[in-house]
Structures are given as C-alpha cells and as structure tokens.
Amino acid sequence: MPYAIRRPGARRAIHMGALLAFALVSQAVAADARADESAPAGHEGDRTADALGATAGYDRLDLALPHRAGPVAASVWYPVGTPTYGGLVGDNPVFRGTPAFVGAAPAEGRFPLLVVSHGSGGNMDNLGWLSSALALRGVMVLAVNHPGSTSGDSSPRRSIDLAARARDLTAALDALLADPAFGPRVDRDRIAVLGFSLGGSTALQLAGARLDRGRYRDYCTRFAEATDCVFFGKGGVDLAALPESFEAELRDPRIRAAVAVDPGMSYGFTPESVLDMHLPVLLVDFAPPDDWTGFDPGLARDVGAAGSGLALRLPEVERATIGPAIHFSFLGLCKPEGAALLEAERDDPVCTDPAVSDRAAVHEHVTARITAFLKARL
C-alpha cells in the first residue's frame, strides 16, 4: 500500500511526552546482560552492541495513513552500523530518557522485528528502555503514536477505537518494509508484536483475537468499577452503541508471535477467535506484594481463571508473572523529583513502587523474558 513517509529533522527525534495518567517514559536497561540473554542466534546484534558501547540506533518516520486525518508519528530502534551523535529519547522532568544514536546507519544483516503498541495516554518513545535493550540484542523495534490515545492527544472516546490502533501498526509495518534504509534489514519471517495495557489488546488483535461488543458491554455492566470501564464511562462512551468496527477482523498474517503485557479488554475477546490463534503468545503480568494498597488495575488485567480466562484458552501460550511488581513497574525509571512533581499535579502515582520492589530489576527481568521468548519462538 502506498503510505507516504517523511523523515523529520533530528531534533524532533527527542520527544517530550505529556505527563498523563498512563504516560510511559523510559530508561535503558543495564547493558551488562548475561550472554544467554543476548541477540538471537544468527544475527549481529551482540557484536554491534559490544563495538558501539551498548547504544542503539533510533530514527523517526511520519506516516500518511488513509484511516487517519493527519500524519502518524512512528519510530524505529535498531542495531547500529555507523554511529552518529547521541541523544536522549523520552526524557522529561519526571522520567529519565534513553540514550540513542539518532539517525545512525543500521548494521548490516537482517534482524527480527517487534512491532509495539503503547498504552492509553502513552507514546512510542516512552518504551525506549525496552526498545533500546531489544535493539542491543539484535531485534529491530517499530512503534507508533496512536492518535486519540497518545500523550497530549488522548480521550476515552477515541481510545476505544481499537480497530484504528491496530490499523496504525499494520500500516506502519507496510511502510517500514517498503523503506529503502530499513526494509532490507528486516527478517520478514521473524516479525512479532508487543503491546502494554490497552496496547496489549491491540497486539492480540493483530495476532487474531476479535472483540465482541456484547461481551465487553456485559463485562462492564457486571464490573462497573473495573478501571477500564470507569475510564470509558468518564468519557461518556456508550458501550451499548459501539461501532461495528469494534468487532473487526484485524489479524496481520505477517505476525508470527505476540507479547501482551498486562493487557486490557481481554474480557471482550470471543472464545472462538482466541482458540483459533495458532501462534506463540507470551502473557506478562505483575504480582503486587500482599500488603500493596496502591493503584492496581486488578480485575481489568486479570487473564487467569479468576478473571477473563484468556491464559487458559490460548492454544500456544506462555505466561510470565513477575513480582513483586505493579502495573506501573513497566514504566520508565523515575527521576528523584518525579514522584513529588506528579503529586503536585494530582497525577497518577506512576513513580510510586512497593517498598520491596526494584523497578530497574523488574525491567531486566522483563527484557530477559521477552528476549528468550523471541529467540525461541521466532
């Protein structure tokens, strides 16, 4: 499909996300990961990381997509061939940014590709800690800012348009594969998708899951205090009048594996579509300490027997429960003043972890688990 691509100037590569309730910003994971957590066999990512001081490449794309009124911002992280100047991606007053060689030439060879969907109110640069770590292990990472549910442009009414979110990723993948600089670097037989929170739903849709309007409406009728139902309710979303596109078939046959991190909306997936997902799926969730009384999506993210049961129905599923950790543990490392700034702005306490939890260690564990999954299943 003829999607137009425009490369913005390098200064625009350093994105400053607004501080929203579900904003995700990022910090690079430690570069001294064990050898068995490094690049998938047969790729050059480990040698590239050693040679260039453990800094990944980063570039931006602007996409003109037929289902969107304006340009959609996209980014790609990748193993570096020739370094350029360094920059910090996603840095702001609350969260630390991720170092990157902005606009560097990609390394020679072909690499697996992970397509990433951010959560509600997040943005593509917010997951730089994970994208950079994977690029250093030989995995290219493509992400977009989903209009209507991204930092500075987010509302419940537009966030529930999950079909548009999924089409953003499919169109971005079309564009990247057609790009003369990055397309030849992608191993087209090794493409996976990852999403966090609302983005987890998007990832599962690209893997073949289909939503049902009645199932999701009934879930919110039964559990009106669930965090996702409250969020959409505050925006006046009428769950009895969701559009037909809510139930669209959005599977992308190029996707060979999926990772869903604390996915939302899983109560709305049809059992038939889930049972028909014959590709590897990794479900990642977080286990708070028993005495945790802070924010947790709880029921909304429960994919086990006490929740949506998604983990029990997928034909090829792996599940990684990481703890002690909470939903916000997937966000970037905070600056020392981050929690106070959020409190002053009456924002969500995304920098407040359980006392027994180490967010940097959680990031390392998540990175290792996702790397192992991609290495084994792609």
We report the CATH number of the domain holding residue 316 as 3.40.50.1820
Q: What is the number of residues in the chain? A: 378
Residue 288, domain member (yes or no): yes
pLDDT class of 148 with cuts at 50, 70, 90: low
Residue 24, domain member (yes or no): no
Q: How many domains does the chain have?
A: 1
Q: Is the pLDDT of residue 357 over 50?
A: yes
CA 161 to chain centre: 17
DSSP for 44-106? SHHHHHHHTTS--EEEEEEEE-TTSSS-EEEEEEE-EEE---EEEES--SSB--EEEEETPEE
The pLDDT value given to residue 350: 84
pLDDT tens per residue across span 320-345: 999 999 998 998 888 899 888 888 88
Residue 17, domain member (yes or no): no
Residue 18, domain member (yes or no): no
Residue 15, domain member (yes or no): no
Residue 16, domain member (yes or no): no
The alpha helices in the chain, defined as continuous H runs, are: 45-51, 128-135, 156-159, 162-178, 198-206, 213-222, 227-234, 271-275, 310-313, 338-344, 359-377
Look up the pTM and report it: 0.84
pLDDT tens per residue across span 179-234: 999 999 999 999 999 999 999 999 999 999 999 999 999 999 999 999 999 999 99
Residue 224, domain member (yes or no): yes
Beta strands in 230-358 (DSSP E): 257-261, 281-286, 317-322
Closest listed residue to residue 120, CA positions, set 68, 195, 198: 198
Residue 181 structural domain: 4-8+30-377
Residue 321, domain member (yes or no): yes
- In this prediction, residues 29-49 reach a mean pLDDT of 36
Using CA atoms, how far residue 159 sits from 63, 151, 198, 314, 344, in Å, is 19, 12, 9, 25, 26
